[in-house]
């Protein structure tokens, strides 16, 4: 579970009474790892934490988790006012499970990565995410070929309007808060140059919902076109 502090007060107090066995990772305003606390005792006593951290990632305690080597790690977070995280090739922690991922070193230790967003395009996509991309492309083609569809100006109809449609923007809009871009990564070698970041899904239920919504919308659009011809 990820808790992000938005208030201006320096310290926050988290009442963590009753949660055990958990590890609480703390990050500063630049999403840089600052420390960890453990809650391993019994559930009867009260337990709270006072800290200046701006983000807390609470994970079930796992003795194999590399607590001792987290220094220099960043939390994957899309706060883009964040200069420090633009270091190249850095490890980042998944905001859902704390898994350590590194797009540069091709190290992926968790299942919450949907794709790499590189120069505004989706790459290395997961099968279900791939289907979402295919569906948006198919629906967008239908809109480009059939002017009649532009008359409707609400909901998905306006999203797919050929005048304003942009695939990447449309997909981010469909997922809302459930899609999170990780830390920006820049590359400038003779092999490749550009910038991008990993894409994380915070809730797989939303992936299913978006897929279902697009499947249904495609059927609706096709039915409508059939009626008109």
Q: Which is nearer to Zn ion, 75 or 214 (CB)?
A: 75
State how far the Cα of 144 lies from the Cα of 134, in Å rounded to an integer: 15
Stretch that binds Zn ion, among 52-60, 63-71, 87-95, 180-188 (CB under 5 A): 87-95
State how far the Cα of 188 lies from the Cα of 111, in Å rounded to an integer: 28
Per the CB < 8 A criterion, the answer to whether 221 and 199 are in contact is no
Stretch that binds Zn ion, among 63-71, 97-105, 182-190, 216-224 (CB under 5 A): 97-105
Q: Which is nearer to Zn ion, 170 or 202 (CB)?
A: 202
Q: Is 99 in the site for Zn ion (CB under 5 A)?
A: yes
Q: Is 97 in the site for Zn ion (CB under 5 A)?
A: yes
Q: Which is nearer to Zn ion, 94 or 221 (CB)?
A: 94
Q: Is 204 exposed, middle or buried (0-12, 13-18, 19+ CB in 10 A)?
A: middle
Stretch that binds Zn ion, among 65-73, 88-96, 145-153, 218-226 (CB under 5 A): 88-96
Q: Is 76 in the site for Zn ion (CB under 5 A)?
A: no
* Sole residue written with tokens 């948006």: 136
Minimum CB separation from Zn ion for residue 68, in Å?
20
Q: Is 96 in the site for Zn ion (CB under 5 A)?
A: yes
Q: Which is nearer to Zn ion, 99 or 196 (CB)?
A: 99
Q: Find out whether the peptide bond into 4 is cis, omega within 30 degrees of 0.
A: no
Per the CB < 8 A criterion, the answer to whether 200 and 179 are in contact is yes
Site for Zn ion in 108-127 (CB under 5 A): 110, 112
What is the DSSP code (8-state) at residue 44? S
Q: Which residues are CB-neighbours of 192 under 8 A, at least 6 positions away?
A: none
Stretch that binds Zn ion, among 9-17, 45-53, 83-91, 96-104 (CB under 5 A): 96-104
Runs of H (alpha helix) within 52-200: 127-145, 155-159, 167-175
Six-digit token pair at 40? Answer: 């391993």
Minimum CB separation from Zn ion for residue 228, in Å?
46
Residue numbers at the binding site for Zn ion (CB under 5 A): 94, 96-97, 99, 110, 112
């Amino acid at each position: 579970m990820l808790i992000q502090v938005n208030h201006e007060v320096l310290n926050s107090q988290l009442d963590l009474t009753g949660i055990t066995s958990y590890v609480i990772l703390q990050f500063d305003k630049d999403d840089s790892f600052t420390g960890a606390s453990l809650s391993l005792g019994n559930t009867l006593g009260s337990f709270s934490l006072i800290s200046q951290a701006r983000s807390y990632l609470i994970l079930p305690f796992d003795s194999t988790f590399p607590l001792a080597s987290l220094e220099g790690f960043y939390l994957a977070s899309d706060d883009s006012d964040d200069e420090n995280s633009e270091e190249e090739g850095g490890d980042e922690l998944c905001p859902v499970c704390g898994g350590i991922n590194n797009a540069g070193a091709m190290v992926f230790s968790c299942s919450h990565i949907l794709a790499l967003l590189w120069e505004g395009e989706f790459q290395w996509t997961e099968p279900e995410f791939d289907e979402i991309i295919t569906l948006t492309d198919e629906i967008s083609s239908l809109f480009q070929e059939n002017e009649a569809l532009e008359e409707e100006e609400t909901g998905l109809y306006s999203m797919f309007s050929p005048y304003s449609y942009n695939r990447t923007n449309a997909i981010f809009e469909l997922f809302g808060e459930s899609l999170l871009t990780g830390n920006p990564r820049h590359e400038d070698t003779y092999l490749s140059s550009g910038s991008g970041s990993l894409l994380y899904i915070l809730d797989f239920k939303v992936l299913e919902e978006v897929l279902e919504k697009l499947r249904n919308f495609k059927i609706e659009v096709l039915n409508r076109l059939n009626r008109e011809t």
